[in-house]
Amino acid sequence: MGLSTAARSGLTALCKAISREVVADNVTINNLLPERFDTDRQRFMAERMVREQGITYEEARQRIIGTIAAGRLGHPREFGDACAFLCSAQAGYISGQNLQLDGGSYRGVF
């Protein structure tokens, strides 16, 4: 995760810098920052917990879900809807932003 975190930080800084240059031309650049969505990746992570911790699949899922403030995994459609909104005319004044799709789990101020 260390490499991923560093890369994401760099991408965030790059997108913010570029967005300031292109927004006057009605080009918006934003980042979608998803946390845990109910996808194959989360199934893989739960299955790994089953093997490593000797628990049931349902117990593994509940442990994962227990770390999310909303108390559930995100649905892929929710990610798609957020993406569609940021690509719409209604979001034309939103640029250089990070939208955290994390069920309220991020503890930071921004």
Cβ–Cβ < 8 Å for 38, 44: no
How much is the mean pLDDT over the chain?
94
CATH code of the domain made up of 2-101 = 3.40.50.720
With a cut of 60, say whether residue 11 has pLDDT above it: yes
Does the pTM surpass 0.75? The reply is: yes
Q: Where are the domains of the chain?
A: 2-101
Mean pLDDT of 12-40: 95
Return the structure tokens found at 106: 């991020």
User: Per-residue pLDDT for 2 more than 80?
Assistant: no
Query: Quick check: 8 pLDDT over 90?
Result: no
Nearest CA to 97 among 15, 22, 36?
A: 15
- End-to-end Cα distance, the chain: 21
3-state helix, strand, coil in the chain (%, to 5): 55, 10, 35
